[in-house]
Amino acid sequence: MSGTESSASVFTARVREQMHDILEREFRRTNLRGRAPELEKVIRQYIDRRAKLLRPRLLLETATAYGAEVSPPLLEIAAATELLHTFALLHDDCIDGAHGREVPSSSGDEAFEMRLLAGDFLHALAYAVIAELVVTRALPAAVLEIVRSVSLDTVAGQAMDLELSRRPISARSAAELYELYDLKTGRYSFDAPMQIGALYAGSPQRDQAALSELARYLGRAYQLYDDMVDTEQLLSAPRERHEPVASWELNLVAAMLAEKEADGMREIGELSRVLERIEPEEVREFAEPMLAELLSYAERQTRRLSLERASARRLLGAATQHLCVNGREARAIRSCNSDRDDLHV
């Protein structure tokens, strides 16, 4: 096992242990097993799924970059951010029908209701954990304001996604795509954990703006890459499988058509006809320059931080490790990311 794999394994184990400790305390307090065993089951299914733990890792990376020691309170606030993420997943699955999530599937109104309640339970619990740490660790009150505002932005982003999905392909734009990315991904997956980690460590106030800008570009790159890969897979599938595709899955295609305005394709109303006119390679050709630009902007923001260069490299590396970077997008981060260290917990 390499040093990177060993470090990641230790990190994952400690965060998961902390998450389970938080849940077990609350399950005992509420007697959830006796009162609502199905709710407890759903929560455990989502908590035990395979996960990247991106958000707690970014919180820990940011806090340690600013000099904090990895300790039980820091691990607890990091675990709480993953509980917030799980809340978002549960509500997202209620809307999307649990497409592809690696949890046992179920159907019917009861499954929908239990996911909804599980999400509510985890959000309230995560907020309570963070609020208690703010008091006991004398953390800035801004931590709670971040959690509040990011939660509201996530809900607004989900609603925006639904609104866009109801419009014709021709009525969506590239600018709206980035706005959606900021609300659904950038704020709660990057901005919140990085800002909370920095505040926990007592970072200089002058770094807050640069961290927010860094998080914005990283969030856009993260979601753009995921959409690019998903859309390529969709377009590579047999044509007969295109018809059941939900409209919201084509946000990137809609943005591409809006940007290119090619051959009157934006005026095509039928989803199947749109897909028949696009090749998978076109999506990558459209998205890759955008991705490279976003990563280049992110790298510039790290230079504004009052961090040692090695710490900035490590932070950027943790935030971009999910990208299968190659070609143009790889060059944008190679100088920062080629010799980064890994988080040791």
Report which DSSP code applies to 60: H
Looking at residue 165, its pLDDT comes to 76
DSSP for 250-280, please give it: GHHHHHHHHHH--TTGGG---HHHHHHT--H
Inside any domain, residue 104 = yes
Inside any domain, residue 232 = yes
Angstrom distance (rounded) from CA 37 to CA 53: 26
Inside any domain, residue 345 = no
Inside any domain, residue 310 = yes
Inside any domain, residue 51 = yes
Amino acid identity for residue 310 in this structure: A
CATH, residue 71: 1.10.600.10
Looking at residue 236, its pLDDT comes to 82
Which backbone phi and psi does 138 adopt, to 5 degrees?
A: 55, 45
Looking at residue 174, its pLDDT comes to 78
Cα–Cα nearest to 122, from 99, 89, 145? 89
Cα–Cα nearest to 68, from 77, 149, 336? 77
Q: Which domain holds residue 104?
A: 3-337
Between vectors from CA 224 to CA 63 and to CA 323, what angle results, nearest 5°?
55
Which backbone phi and psi does 137 adopt, to 5 degrees?
A: -100, 5
How many Cα atoms sit within 13 Å of 116 on the Cβ side?
10
pLDDT tens, residue order, the chain (345 aa): 344 444 666 788 899 999 999 999 999 999 999 999 999 999 999 999 988 899 999 999 999 999 999 999 999 999 999 999 999 999 988 887 644 455 544 455 668 899 999 999 999 999 999 999 999 999 999 999 999 999 999 999 989 988 887 776 666 777 888 999 999 899 999 999 999 999 999 999 999 999 999 999 999 999 999 989 888 888 887 755 555 565 556 778 878 877 665 545 445 455 556 667 788 888 889 899 999 999 999 999 999 999 999 999 999 998 998 775 444 444 444 444 444 444 434
Amino acid identity for residue 308 in this structure: E
**What does the chain come to in residues?**
345
Inside any domain, residue 179 = yes
Looking at residue 273, its pLDDT comes to 65
Inside any domain, residue 225 = yes
Inside any domain, residue 343 = no
- The tally of domains found in the chain comes to 1
Angstrom distance (rounded) from CA 59 to CA 195: 8
